[in-house]
Every structure is written in C-alpha cells, then in structure tokens.
C-alpha cells in the first residue's frame, strides 16, 4: 500500500493501523439533514486512507500523498491550515482522549466534485484513532465527531449526512437516516439487476460563495421554524398553513424541506417495493425544488440534468450542497453513452468546461485495512 510506504519513508516505522473511509453521493434528501429530516445517501468507491501511529506528546505530524513535500509538523492546533484542519479538528474534538499522532493520508475522491472528501478524511482519521486508543466509539459516534470537527473547528455548519454516509454505509445498499433520532437502516440498491446505473456528472465547477450561501440557507430554515413554533422544519405537518404564515425566502425554503422529506419517504417506498426503475420522477422533482425553492443549483447543474434527461436518463438531480459539484442521473445501461454524449454536447454548445462522468456503485463504509 503506497500510504504505508510513504508513512515509513517519512516517519521511519510502519503505521500501527490503516483505515479507509469513503466519500458519498446523495440519492435524495438534500438540505434536510440540518432540518432534522431524512436523507438517503450511499458511499462511493473513492475515499481516504489514513495510516496512523499515536504519539505521546501533543505534536501532530501529517503528510498527504496529494500534497507532495515534507510532512507538516503542528505543535498546536491553531497552526492547522487548509486540508490539515479536518485532521487536527478531529484530534481537537477528541480532547484529552488522545495526545498527538503521526498520520499519512492518501485520497482518491475526485477533488471538487462535491463527493465529500472532507467527511472521508475526518471519518478515516477518527476511526483510526478510535481503534488505536480503544475508545469504543460506534460508527455513528465517529460520524458525529467528524461533524463536530467540521462545525466547531473548520467553521462549516454542515449536517450529519456526509459523515454518517462515510461511517455507516454498506456495499450495494443506500443508507436511510433519520437525522433527528439518528436511527439508520441500509436498503438494498440493486441497480444492476434492473439494468440501471447511477451516473455521476461532475460539472467541474465549484463556486466560491458556496459556504456562505449554505450557512444562509440553514439560518433561513431555523428562522422559519421559529416563526412556525416548531423545533425544526421536519415538524411541519400542515404545509399549506405554514406557507400562509411565511413569506419570501423562508417560505420557499420551507416548501423545499417539507416536500423533500416526503420525497425521501416515497422513494424508500418504491425501493422496498422493488420498483427502483420508478424513482426517476422523484429525482426530477427534487432537482426542480432545489433549483426553484431552495435556490442552490447552478447553470451547469441545471444543464447537466436537462441534457441527461434529453439523452434518455430516467431521472436526474443535483446532489450535495449545490452551487457546483455533481449531479446524479439514473440511467438504463443501454442509454449510458447517449446520456453522456447529450451532456457533453450541451456543455460544449454553452461553452462550459467539459464535464466528467463517473459510475456510482454503492460501496462499503469506513473499515480497517491493516
């Protein structure tokens, strides 16, 4: 394993453990996690591998095969910059339960595609430290730790979906998570049996203001819930009545969140009935709601969805936080080429940067490699 070789070359000994955690795509349930709602992501085959040995002092020595050069040595948590914040954030959240560590990282999550490489990084390191220090944390506790590192250390007010998908997913299955109770269950997603694939369309665009817009959406939802006198938008039962009491952005955000939760439940119903071929309409409705009510799509994502449908996809939607990143399309295997051709041609015509296509096969969550 090349991460072990890199660890040995930099730190002069073998790592005591090696863990891998994957990135994710979300099938449906977007911007519902921080509204205490439902999500249905699955892990992708790409992820982050962390080779780790604990240290007795509080120093962290870090290297990444994706950032060539000498290992970064951090004596205090405040020195962490860039990608190192996700790792040091996890150590910081573990507090006195751990001291320092030597860590080598290798990742193959396509960068900028919105497939949660940061959650994969947090969960791989958290799982390795949990193992080494015998902390006895469950996969969900590891996910919560990663989320806390991102919220409190990195300063991104994300929900629990990405870390939970990375920690709890199972091969060939999607993860249904109730983001309030944190109860979860995996559901078979046997696409191949139906001659179907989920195609990731990476727009290769990532808008700089995404972080600020995310925090703004979250604040709008919280404000709408306060006005409606409910703990979270998940608790809205009378949508029509709620919409009458709201206006502007808060009205639109509420419309999206409440209907998106229903779409997750409807999609699960179809999967349970073995009707995976029928989920396309829900994916399309989710995209329109994210575009028009939640206002987190982008011209590139809209075009990816539109052209994928024109090329014969059964359904398509943006996935993840939005403002760039990727779309997912449900495609019959014999239409894969025509969908890709349709999206590529539409992008070329609009003068957009060529998109990248990736096949999404539901993969296994965090696990130990050595």
Chain contacts with ligand GAF (rule: CB under 6 A): 26, 30-31, 33-34, 158-159, 161-162, 320-321
Q: Is 324 annotated as a binding residue?
A: no
State how far the Cα of 133 lies from the Cα of 185, in Å rounded to an integer.
28
> Residue 293 or 342: which CB sits closer to ligand GAF?
293
> Residue 34 or 352: which CB sits closer to ligand GAF?
34
* Shortest Å distance, C-beta 183 to ligand GAF: 17
Active-site annotation holds for 190 = no
Of the listed 131, 162, 235, 292, which one is catalytic?
162
> Residue 155 or 241: which CB sits closer to ligand GAF?
155
- The CA-to-CA distance between both ends of the chain, in Å, stands at 10
Q: Is 342 annotated as a binding residue?
A: no
> Residue 5 or 178: which CB sits closer to ligand GAF?
178
State how far the Cα of 370 lies from the Cα of 1, in Å rounded to an integer.
10
* Shortest Å distance, C-beta 159 to ligand GAF: 3
Segments of 259-337 assigned E as strands: 315-318, 324-332
Q: What 3-state class would DSSP assign to 182?
A: coil
Closest C-alpha to 263, from 13, 24, 4, 31: 31
State how far the Cα of 241 lies from the Cα of 230, in Å rounded to an integer.
13
State how far the Cα of 157 lies from the Cα of 295, in Å rounded to an integer.
18
Closest C-alpha to 125, from 156, 159, 166, 169: 166
**Which residues fall within 8 angstroms of residue 189, CB to CB, at 6 or more apart?**
27, 42, 172, 173, 174, 271, 276, 362
> Residue 84 or 163: which CB sits closer to ligand GAF?
163
Q: Is 150 annotated as a binding residue?
A: yes
> Residue 30 or 106: which CB sits closer to ligand GAF?
30
Q: Is 64 annotated as a binding residue?
A: yes
Angle between helices 161-168 and 117-132 (to 10 degrees): 50
State how far the Cα of 166 lies from the Cα of 122, in Å rounded to an integer.
9
Q: Is 117 annotated as a binding residue?
A: yes
* Shortest Å distance, C-beta 10 to ligand GAF: 31
* Shortest Å distance, C-beta 265 to ligand GAF: 16
Q: Residue 115 half-sphere exposure, CB side, CA atoms within 13 Å? A: 31
Angle CA 24–269–29, to nearest 5: 35
Q: Is 214 annotated as a binding residue?
A: yes
* Shortest Å distance, C-beta 156 to ligand GAF: 7
Q: Read off the tokens for 54.
A: 């604990």
Q: Is 73 annotated as a binding residue?
A: no
* Shortest Å distance, C-beta 245 to ligand GAF: 25
State how far the Cα of 333 lies from the Cα of 196, in Å rounded to an integer.
5
Annotated binding site: 30-33, 64, 112-118, 150, 214
List residues with catalytic annotation: 162
Residue positions forming the annotated binding site for ATP: 64, 112-118
Residue numbers in the known binding site for substrate are 30-33, 214
User: Binding site residues for Mg(2+), as ranges?
Assistant: 118, 150
């Amino acid at each position: 394993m090349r991460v072990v070789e890199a660890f040995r070359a930099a730190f002069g000994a073998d790592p005591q453990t090696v863990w891998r955690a994957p990135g994710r795509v979300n099938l449906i349930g977007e911007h519902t996690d921080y509204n205490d709602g439902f999500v249905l992501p699955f892990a992708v085959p790409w992820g982050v591998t962390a080779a780790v040995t604990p240290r007795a002092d509080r120093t962290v020595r870090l290297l990444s095969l994706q950032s060539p050069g000498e290992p970064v040595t951090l004596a205090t948590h405040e020195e962490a910059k860039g990608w190192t914040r996700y790792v040091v954030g996890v150590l910081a959240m573990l507090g006195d339960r751990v001291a320092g560590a030597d860590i080598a990282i290798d990742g193959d999550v396509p960068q900028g595609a919105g497939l949660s490489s940061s959650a994969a990084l947090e969960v791989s390191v958290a799982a390795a430290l949990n193992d080494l220090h015998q902390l006895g944390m469950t996969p969900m506790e590891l996910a919560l730790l990663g989320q806390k590192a991102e919220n409190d250390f990195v300063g991104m007010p994300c929900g629990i979906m990405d870390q939970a998908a990375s920690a709890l997913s199972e091969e060939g299955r999607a993860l249904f998570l109730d983001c309030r109770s944190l109860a979860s269950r995996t559901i078979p997603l046997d696409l191949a049996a139906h001659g179907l694939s989920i195609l990731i369309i990476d727009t290769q665009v990532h808008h700089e203001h995404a972080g600020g817009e995310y925090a703004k959406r979250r604040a709008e939802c919280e404000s709408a819930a306060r006005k409606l006198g409910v703990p979270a938008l998940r608790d809205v039962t009378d949508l029509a009545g709620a919409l009458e009491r709201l206006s502007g952005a808060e009205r639109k955000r509420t419309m999206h969140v409440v209907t998106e939760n229903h779409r997750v439940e409807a999609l699960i119903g179809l999967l349970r009935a073995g009707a995976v071929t029928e989920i396309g309409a829900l994916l399309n409705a989710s995209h329109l709601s994210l575009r028009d009510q939640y206002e987190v799509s982008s011209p590139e994502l809209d075009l990816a969805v539109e052209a994928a449908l024109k090329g014969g996809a059964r359904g398509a939607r943006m996935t993840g936080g939005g403002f760039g990143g990727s779309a997912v399309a449900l495609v019959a295997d014999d239409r894969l080429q025509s969908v890709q051709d349709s999206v590529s041609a539409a992008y070329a015509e609009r003068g957009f940067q060529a998109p990248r296509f990736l096949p999404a096969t539901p993969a296994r969550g965090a696990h130990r490699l050595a």
